[in-house]
Amino acid sequence: MTRPLLMLDVDGPLAPYVGSPYRRPEGYLTHRVPVRSWRERQHAAGIRNPRPLRVWLHPDHGPALLALRYELVWATTWKDEANEHLAPLLGLPELPYVDWPSMHHDDPDGLHWKTRHLVAHAAGRPFAWVDDEIEPRDTAWIAAHHPAPALTLTVDHRCGLRPADFALLADWAEVNGS
């Protein structure tokens, strides 16, 4: 049995964010996470003792993800720090992660910087990609360049993953798993 891959962005789908720091979506818990890359950026900006990064996570998301018939893969700038800091808070085991060869670069076709990397990482396997920054041109490019089925699921970064998203992912795996 081969399950499809589920490429998981963190900021937006699992860790929603809004303009105001005081509008935490319902059901989420607030965590303070000592992220290395965050601390380095704060230091670079001249902030001597930055507070750990505030992250909102939903305690049901880990179990809900594990219940899906996918192989979970971190597809986030958090890279291995998602395993270190977020997996324990979400109730997830250590997961494989995409070790991006480059991040935040411009793309000649205006694609998201993750798009080509994810298709390469999937290596011909069916995959779903959950992210708050997917544009229609990314979906079209994947459909044209990836030989297996792919689902792109754009999540509203203010709300994070919702029950309807989990239902869609479950249905898709049902049809596209083998």
Based on CB atoms, which residue is closest to Mg ion, 35 or 176? 35
Find the DSSP H helices in the chain: 36-44, 61-67, 80-81, 87-90, 115-122, 136-145, 163-176
Q: Determine the Cα–Cα distance for residues 49 and 71; give it in Å rounded to an integer.
A: 38
CB of 131 to Mg ion, least distance (A): 6
Question: Is the distance from CB of 93 to CB of 71 less than 8 angstroms?
Answer: no
CB of 78 to Mg ion, least distance (A): 10
Name the segment binding Mg ion (CB under 5 A); options: 3-11, 91-99, 122-130, 160-168: 3-11
Name the segment binding Mg ion (CB under 5 A); options: 11-19, 24-32, 89-97, 103-111: 11-19
Q: Give the burial class of 4: count Cβ atoms within 10 A of its Cβ; 0-12 exposed, 13-18 middle, 19 or more buried.
A: buried
Q: Does 160 bind Mg ion (CB under 5 A)?
A: no
* CA separation, residue 178 to residues 1, 30, 123, 160 (Å): 6, 38, 16, 28
Based on CB atoms, which residue is closest to Mg ion, 14 or 176? 14
Based on CB atoms, which residue is closest to Mg ion, 80 or 133? 133
Based on CB atoms, which residue is closest to Mg ion, 142 or 176? 142
Q: Give the burial class of 62: count Cβ atoms within 10 A of its Cβ; 0-12 exposed, 13-18 middle, 19 or more buried.
A: buried
Site for Mg ion (CB under 5 A): which residue of 11, 84, 107, 156?
Answer: 11
Site for Mg ion (CB under 5 A): which residue of 4, 12, 62, 160?
Answer: 12
Size of the site for Mg ion (CB under 5 A): 4
Point out which residues pair with 35 in neighbouring strands.
Answer: none
Based on CB atoms, which residue is closest to Mg ion, 150 or 161? 161
Which residues between 128 and 147 bind Mg ion (CB under 5 A)? 132
Dihedral-angle region of residue 164 (phi above 0 means left; psi in -120 to 50 means alpha; beta otherwise): alpha
Residues in contact with Mg ion by CB under 5 A are: 9, 11-12, 132
